[in-house]
């Protein structure tokens, strides 16, 4: 009983006394194109009202052009300059360390018994058609998580939920997860086809060759010699986590679980020498920006005026231990 109560106190320290949210969307120069559609209102926490408009399947393709337009707006506005500088600076700092980071990661993964080879076992087939290779070790399973299948499965789940319960938020989320494959795919491929960075397993030494604006025929004949930067896997995962957490801000575990999976996949991709560590900062930045752009279209965010919310949000609850046999609760007001 004492242990259960102590765990409850620890959990309470992670929760605020009121569920108030601030959704940080980009200020984009467009009008919501869906305001004439049927809509549903969702009360989120104590202070947020989300209005979701009924989506159409064709929105996935129509919004692709808008995504590219708005991505260009986001990366060229002055508010983004510190973030762009941070991404560029961290990438520049990591590139000279890539080989050491790769070797250190190999040592760590080997020490915990994770085989770095990409190995597959049985193949799942339907009607004689192969649809999925089943991973045969943990590293391959983690790598597969970054290939987009989880996003497809999650999107399918939201679509089924939305259709069976007439839930516009779930349907918008499903549409957005499909939309990300178009927008993220084109964005990352454009950069890959421009930077031409060599994958680690192809680099005999150093940190890989960069071949800016490579011959596209050579690129297509020998893709792994040119397509390491940035990581499309990492960008897609970041975009997925951002879309889910933006549409469902009340589920606070989406981010820590999503970021944890991203970290594990990132280590796995270095272990099988598909990516360098410096391939990740830009990928994460692209995924976050595109995820915010995609998720804020198709909804309207409104805040309710709650007078006590500012006070309540400054109050935290912590477990307090006085001795091995006694403990209590500490209330802290953050000035």
Statement: residue 113 has pLDDT above 80: yes
Give the per-residue pLDDT at 11.
Answer: 45
Q: Give the whole-number percent of the chain exceeding pLDDT 90.
A: 64
Average pLDDT in the 37-57 region? Answer: 92
Give the per-residue pLDDT at 54.
Answer: 94
Q: Which residue reads 């940080």 in tokens?
A: 24
CA distance 70 to 73: 5
54: CB partners within 8 A, 6+ apart: 34, 37, 38, 39, 40, 168, 171
Give the per-residue pLDDT at 143.
Answer: 84
Give the per-residue pLDDT at 168.
Answer: 96
Higher local confidence (pLDDT), 120 or 264: 264
Over the stretch 190-201, which tens digit does the pLDDT of each residue have?
Answer: 999 999 999 999
Q: Give the whole-number percent of the chain exceeding pLDDT 70.
A: 83
Statement: residue 230 has pLDDT above 60: yes
- Do residues 240 and 177 make contact, with C-beta atoms less than 8 angstroms apart? yes
Q: Which residue reads 């919501």 in tokens?
A: 32
Q: Which residue reads 């159409």 in tokens?
A: 56
Query: In a 3-state reduction of DSSP, which class is residue 212?
Result: coil
CA distance 243 to 293: 9
Give the per-residue pLDDT at 170.
Answer: 97
Give the per-residue pLDDT at 116.
Answer: 79
CA distance 81 to 85: 6
Over the stretch 66-95, which tens digit does the pLDDT of each residue have?
Answer: 999 999 999 999 999 999 999 999 999 999
Which has the minimum average pLDDT: 223-227, 236-240, 309-313? 309-313
Give the per-residue pLDDT at 13.
Answer: 43
**In the chain, which residue ranges form alpha helices assigned H by DSSP?**
2-12, 59-76, 81-94, 98-111, 138-145, 149-165, 168-195, 216-221, 232-247, 254-271, 280-296, 309-313
- Do residues 57 and 175 make contact, with C-beta atoms less than 8 angstroms apart? yes
CA distance 58 to 182: 13
Give the per-residue pLDDT at 311.
Answer: 56
Average pLDDT in the 4-23 region? Answer: 53
- Do residues 327 and 63 make contact, with C-beta atoms less than 8 angstroms apart? no
Over the stretch 131-146, which tens digit does the pLDDT of each residue have?
Answer: 667 777 888 888 888 7
Q: Kindly calculate the radius of gyration of the chain based on its CA atoms and give it in whole angstroms.
A: 23
What mean pLDDT value characterizes the chain? Answer: 85
- Do residues 63 and 53 make contact, with C-beta atoms less than 8 angstroms apart? no
Give the per-residue pLDDT at 307.
Answer: 57
CA distance 253 to 157: 18
Over the stretch 278-334, which tens digit does the pLDDT of each residue have?
Answer: 999 999 999 999 999 999 988 999 988 765 445 555 555 555 555 555 556 556 655
CA distance 302 to 64: 26
* 191-196-198 Cα angle (round to 5): 125
């Amino acid at each position: 009983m004492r242990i259960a109560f102590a765990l409850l106190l620890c959990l309470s320290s992670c929760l605020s006394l009121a569920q108030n949210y601030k959704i940080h969307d980009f200020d984009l120069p467009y009008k919501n194109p869906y305001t004439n559609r049927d809509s549903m209102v969702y009360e989120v926490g104590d202070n947020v009202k989300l209005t979701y408009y009924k989506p159409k399947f064709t929105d996935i393709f129509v919004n692709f052009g808008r995504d590219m337009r708005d991505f260009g707006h986001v990366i060229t506005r002055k508010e983004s300059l510190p973030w762009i500088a941070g991404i560029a600076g961290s990438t520049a700092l990591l590139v000279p360390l890539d080989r050491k980071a790769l070797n250190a990661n190999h040592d760590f993964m080997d020490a915990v018994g994770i085989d770095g080879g990409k190995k597959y076992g049985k193949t799942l087939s339907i009607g004689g058609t192969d649809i999925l290779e089943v991973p045969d070790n943990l590293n391959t399973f983690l790598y597969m998580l970054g290939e987009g299948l989880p996003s497809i499965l999650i999107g399918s789940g939201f679509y089924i939920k939305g259709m069976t319960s007439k839930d516009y938020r779930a349907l918008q989320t499903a549409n957005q997860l499909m939309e990300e494959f178009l927008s993220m795919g084109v964005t990352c491929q454009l950069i890959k086809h421009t930077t031409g960075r060599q994958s680690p397993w192809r680099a005999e030494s150093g940190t890989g060759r960069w071949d800016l604006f490579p011959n596209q025929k050579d690129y297509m004949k020998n893709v792994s010699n040119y397509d390491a930067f940035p990581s499309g896997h990492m960008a897609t995962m970041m975009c997925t986590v951002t879309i889910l957490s933006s549409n469902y801000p009340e589920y606070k575990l989406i981010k820590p679980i999503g970021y944890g999976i991203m970290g594990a996949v990132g280590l796995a991709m270095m272990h099988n020498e598909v990516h360098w560590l410096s391939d990740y900062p830009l990928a994460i930045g692209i995924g976050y920006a595109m995820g915010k752009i995609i998720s804020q279209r198709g909804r309207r965010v409104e805040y309710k005026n709650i007078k006590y919310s500012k006070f309540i949000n400054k109050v935290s609850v912590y477990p307090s231990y006085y001795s091995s046999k006694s403990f209590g609760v500490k209330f802290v007001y953050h000035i």
